[in-house]
Copies of this chain bind each other. A is one copy, B any other.
């Protein structure tokens, strides 16, 4: 299991429309092959900066299967017009589980 972290900078004043768009796209992530969870986090320091966390079976499940799927089109159609800049994406794997429940798996 791997965690995708997409950093999304939203056009000023479109934060509410963006959050509504993300909510409408939850079903597309639920339907996506190899997807195990999704949530949206908003920055405290920079209010038009968001982090999208998505749990996938593998990097390929995200970067190949999802990117080529109809669900990706649903996602981009729901929120793409809100992006101020192209999203940046990284993938992380749990290295130390610590305590209190984990994000990545």
**Which residues of A come within 8 Å of B, CB atoms?**
2-3, 5, 19, 22-23, 26, 29-30, 36-46, 50-51, 53, 55, 59, 90-104
Q: Is the Cβ of B43 less than 8 Å from the Cβ of A92?
A: yes
CA distance A29 to B97 in the complex (A): 13
Give A96's nearest chain B residue, CB to CB: B40
| Other A-B pairs beyond A2-B44, A29-B99, 10, CB < 8 Å | A30-B99, A37-B101, A39-B103, A39-B104, A40-B94, A41-B92, A42-B92, A42-B95, A44-B90, A45-B91
Q: Is the Cβ of A95 less than 8 Å from the Cβ of B3?
A: no
Q: Which residue of the partner chain, among B41, B51, B96, B102, contacts A22 with CB atoms under 8 Å?
A: B96
